[in-house]
Structures are given as structure tokens and as C-alpha cells.
Structure 1
Amino acid sequence: MTRALEGQVALVTGATRGAGRGIAIELGVAGATVYCTGRTTRAQRSPLNRPETIEETAELVNEAGGTGIAVQVDHMDIEQVRALVARIEQEQNGRIDLLVNDIWGGQGELTDNHAKPFWEHDLEHRLGILRNAVDTHVITSWFVAPLMAKRQKGLMIGITDGAPDMYHDNLFYDLCKKSVMRLAVGYGTDGKPYGITGVAISPGWLRSEEMLEWAEVTEENWQDYYWRDPEHRHSFWLRSESPRFTGRAVVALASDPEVARWNCRTMYAEQLSVEYGFTDLNGVTPGQGIYSAAVIDGQALRREDYLPR
């Protein structure tokens, strides 16, 4: 990866872990200044009680070659978001080139009887998830968009799940993810006269910190989850993606002078990898590479094919 984004300023919300952290790091690899926001710091954990912190993410951005700036923000709090964007405007002379909204806010909240009909869910609780997953995006974008419009340039990306024409088996989860796709349409439509492009990106099976823990592996030996099962029943795992893969998709879009061709669209990260020619950390393109070729050709999968190249 080149330092194609050197001098550019990015805001990544939900950068504490998962795709948000992977995106922030890859933006650092590309030389960007990255404001990394989230609720968990070394001094205070969010209700999720996960150990990852925004300070760690910012340090990883620095190690990758960019400039990481950690800011604790609850994006449901309008005044906190107002203060965040005012700070960026002051420190970066009014410049925000890229906004990546990666806040989900419902981790672990929909696993209980996920596929129940919507009227059997707790309404107040589920509405809270919608506010966490949608309102946070709207609030943050509302403050960022005027800075982009003033400069007649900007890219607004929302991280979602799935495709626009699929249903996620749960009304509330589906509304959260489809809303991000529709927000991209709104950003791109309203923003087009002002040089603003809106896109939604859908990762595949993401090897987040939580997923790695669930599979009892690390990013260094993640494929072991598949190979330790003698019947190899978990084939989906070989199609999984590191969070950095989504980050490379974001960098590819942010580096493209003709990014407006994707305006208002929802794209899978693996679709963008084919378009732009990037791979995951191990040199494989998830879903489009070794796994799919082996299935199509009826070949045996080999462990060494998934080791870093």
C-alpha cells in the first residue's frame, strides 16, 4: 500500500475494535491523520466491557505510519459530537476528507431468540438498538457534512451488513443495516452538488476480536478453527476477513479520484477488492480466491494456502 492519503484527515467512529480499528490502521498505512472515536478508554470502559481502547487504536495508527488521535465520544450525545467536529475543524483548518461511520451499538443485544417475529421482541429495548445504530450515524454526519460542503470535497462511508435486497431474519437488525445503506443514498444525493460522495461498505465474515475469542484462535493462527475439526464443517471460516480487509476497501475508495462512480451504492468489501486489486493480510481475496476456486473445481483445500504470503 502507498501513502496515497498523506495529508488527508479522516474521522472513524466506532474505532475501538473490529472493522473500525482495522479501517483506522489501514488509513494510517496510507499516511492519513485519523481521529479515532469510541467510548472505551484506558480509564473507562463502555457497557460492552471489552478490553480494547481507542488509545490502543490511535497507537496502532501511529505504528502503521499515520497520525492517530484518540477522542472519547458517545455519538448519541449531540454536544459531544458537536465538540468533536469543532475540535477537528480547529486543529485541521476546517478539513475533514473522510468520515467512516462504523458504530453499530447492538453487539450481543440481538442474539437472544434472534429469529423471533418482531412483535415478540422487547420494543423499548429494540428501539434503543435502532437509536444506537442509526441516530449515531445521522448525528455525526450532520455535523461533518457542512465542513465537506464548504471545501466542495468529501467521502462519507457507512459500514453495514449484507446487500440491499436481502432480509437479515430480524426486523430490528435489518432496519439498522438497511438504514446505513439508505443514509449513503442520502449523503450522495444531497451531497453531490457539493462534491460529497456517499457509499456503504459491507464486510463479509469478519474476524473481529470477539469472533477470534469465540473460535479460540488469534489472527496469527485463525485458520486453525477450521482445520482442527476433522470433518471441516465450518467452511464459512475460510471465507472470513480480517478487519484490515475492510480497511483496505476504505483506503481504495478514499484514494480513487473517480470515487463518485460509486455514489449512493452499497458494495461488499470483496467486490471492491476485485475492482481495486487489494487482498487480505495473508494475500488471499476472501470469497473470490482459493476457497471459491477449490469448491468450484472440487479440489481439496490446503492449510498452507491460507498462510501469509
Structure 2
Amino acid sequence: MREQDAAPLKGRIALVAGATRGAGRAIAVQLGAAGATVYVTGRTTRRHVSEVGRPGETIEQTADLVRDAGGEGIAVPTDHLVEDQVRALVERIDREHGRLDILVDSVWGGDHLLEFGKKMWDTDLAVGLRMLELGVKTHAITLGLAVPLLVRNPGGLVVEMTDGTDEYNRTHFRENFYYDLVKNAPIRMAFALGHDLADVGCTAVCVTPGFLRSEEMLDAFGVTEENWRDAIAKVPGFEVAESPVYVGRAVAALAADSGRARWNGRSLSSGQLAKEYGFTDTDGSRPDGWPYYEEVVQGGKKAPVSDYR
């Protein structure tokens, strides 16, 4: 393998906003593995724990993992609801590198507020508005302050992260009024931003994992990454679950694709991108979670999981 193939993102500067755990962390690590310098942000550090309450997962750990993978990881504590903190972050990237090539907007941190199956009018308004702040306002602030640096050079990539494809979310209620709004907003952000970026040579997309085996999800089901299959019997659809590495590889492959402008404004999934770029999950499979969930779990189609991974 040629050296440039081993590190296709060498010299690229990336910001992964919301890289404490889950998809954000895995994306940061895979960008690092491809040679990028990756700024990783979040609210949980070795000295401070966010409202999510998971002290064992910090941005410093993520930066260490990026370095272990071969990239340069830089942890910057940032609350993406605080404009001054985000502005200072962007100014630091500008000062240290003078450019931003990849912006991944993976901020969320609202799972602890979710109550699925609860009517909108029975949901505490303050809780609902907090979810919108964490999942929508944070993204708008980050885009508004970081995109001006990204568009200085053609070829920049913005990746909005969400849960669900445009096709799935348009036809399925996400079981909570506020969550539904939060996870549809990034799809429209990428669509709208794609229009603004097209004539300056940059690209915006929205990417979703399938059924993600995040740290929080594994804990909720009482399993680990090593024995996750033990939860299949009690969790519909979990047989097609994917590790966070999978969506990390999806974003890294997208960032390394010189022809990625063809995806501008699109909603994409890890499974879809795996078919396009040929990468696999850690077990060598290629899960395609959204079609499986819709067709088999919800639609009743008689098909083995092997058809979707």
C-alpha cells in the first residue's frame, strides 16, 4: 500500500463536535487513523462531568485514542450552547492551522431526557426545550461559527450527524415529539447548507448510523461489546446492530473521497456508504440497519439477518 493511501487525510484539519463517546468518538478516531489532525470537543473532561453523568468517558480519552490510531488528537472542552466557547474554539483552530477541512457536528447528549411513548402535551416543556437546545441549537451555533473558516478553502466537508435517514424519518414517527424534531433537523440543515456550499466548492451531508452499539446503549441492555449478542432475544432489531467504528469508517471514507460533492445535501447511512466504499464493521460484516428495521422488524418480512449484514 502506498503511503498516501495509508493516510489519505494527512494534513487535513478536522473538528468533531460532540466527541466524548459513541459515534462522535469513533468518527474522531477513524479520521485520526486516516492521518487527520482532529480537534475533539464535549462537556465531559477529566475535571468536569456533564449532565449526561458518564464520568468514565472524556474528550481527553478520545484525543488519546486519536493519537493511538495515528493521528493528532486535540481535546478542547466546549459547551456548544455557549457561543463564546465555540468562537474561541474556532479562533484557536484558525490560529494554529489557518484552515478547517472537515466539520463533524455530532453534538447531542439528550438521551437521559427521553421518554418514548409519552404524549407531547404530557412532556414537561422545559425538558422538551432542553432537548431542542442540545440537539438543534448546538448544531446551529457550531455551523454558524465554524463554517466561515471551512469555506475559506474549496473541498471542505460538513457532516451533520443524526438518527435515521431522511426516507425513514419522513414516514416514521420517532416515538417522542421533541426527539422527532431533534433528529430531523440535521437532515434539513445538511440539505439547506448544501445549497449554500455548492458554489464555493464545499459539501454538506447528513449521516446516520444504523442500530448503534454505543456505550450508553450497551449499558442500557446490560451487555458489553464482547457479548452484545446476548441482548438480541429481548431487543427487536438488535441482531443487525453495528459498532461505532462502522459509522466512523463511513465518515472517514467520505472525507477521503475526492468525488464526495456528488453526495452534497444528501442524507446517508453507514450501511449505504459501506456498499459504496467497501469498508466493513469490526467483525467483517456490513450491517444495513435501516432497511432491516423497516422491512423485517416493523414490516414483518421473512428474511434472515444475513441478508442485511
Q: Which amino acid aligns with 1:267?
A: L
Q: 1:121 to 1:224 in 2, by over 3 A?
A: closer
Judge conservation of contact 1:188–1:197 (CA < 8 Å) in 2. Answer: yes
> What TM-score results when the alignment is normalised by the length of structure 1?
0.88
Q: 1:137 aligns with which of 136, 139, 144?
A: 139
Read off the aligned partner of 1:223 and give its amino acid letter. R
- 2:101 match: 97
Confirm or deny that 1:265 pairs with 2:266: yes
Counterpart amino acid of residue 114 in structure 2: L
Deviations 1:260-292 (A, max 9, x none): 11111111110111111111011011137xx99
Inter-partner Cα distance in structure 1 for 2:163 and 2:220: 20
Partner Cα distance (2:302, 2:266) in 1:
32
Q: How does 1:1-309 map to 2 (within 5 A)?
A: 2-50=6-54, 51-92=56-97, 94-111=98-115, 114-164=116-166, 165-166=170-171, 167-226=173-232, 232-234=233-235, 236-287=237-288
Conserved? CA contact 1:242–1:281, under 8 Å: yes
Q: By how many angstroms is 1:161 displaced?
A: 1.2
**Identity fraction in percent:** 48
Offset, 1:49: 1.3
**Shift of the alpha carbon at 1:117?**
2.6
Q: Give 1:229's aligned residue.
A: none
Any conservation in 1 of the 2:270–2:288 contact (CA below 8 Å)? no
Show structure 1 runs of 5+ residues with no match: 227-231
Question: What SS is found at the alignment partner of 2:6?
Answer: coil
Q: 1:33 to 1:299 in 2, by over 3 A?
A: closer
CA distance in 1, matches of 2:51, 2:305: 44
Write the deviation string for residues 23-63 of structure 1: whole angstroms up to 9, x where unpaired: 11111111111001000111111111102000000000000
Q: Which amino acid aligns with 1:109?
A: L
Q: Provide closer, same or farther for how the CA distance between residues 116 and 87 of structure 1 changes in structure 2, counting only shifts above 3 A.
A: same
In the aligned structure 1, how far is the partner of 2:210 from the partner of 2:305?
23
Residue 300 to residue 86, structure 1, CA distance change in 2 (3 Å): closer
Deviation (angstroms), 1:298: 6.5
The one-letter code sitting in structure 2 at the alignment partner of 1:135 is K
Shift of 1:3: 1.4
For residues 19 and 250 of structure 1, the distance between their equivalents in structure 2, rounded to whole angstroms, comes to 10
Task: Give 1:296 deviation, angstroms.
Answer: 8.4
TM-score (norm 2): 0.88
**CA distance in 2: counterparts of 1:109 and 1:178, whole angstroms:** 17
Counterpart code for 1:283:
G
Judged with a 3 Å threshold, the aligned counterparts in structure 2 of structure 1 residues 212 and 150 are, in CA distance, closer, same or farther, namely same
CA contact (8 A) 2:272 2:288 kept: no
Deviation readout 1:210-248 (Å, 9 max, x if unpaired): 11222332223322333xxxxx45452220011111111
Cα RMSD, aligned residues only: 2.2
Counterpart CA distance in 1 for 2:259 and 2:127 is 42
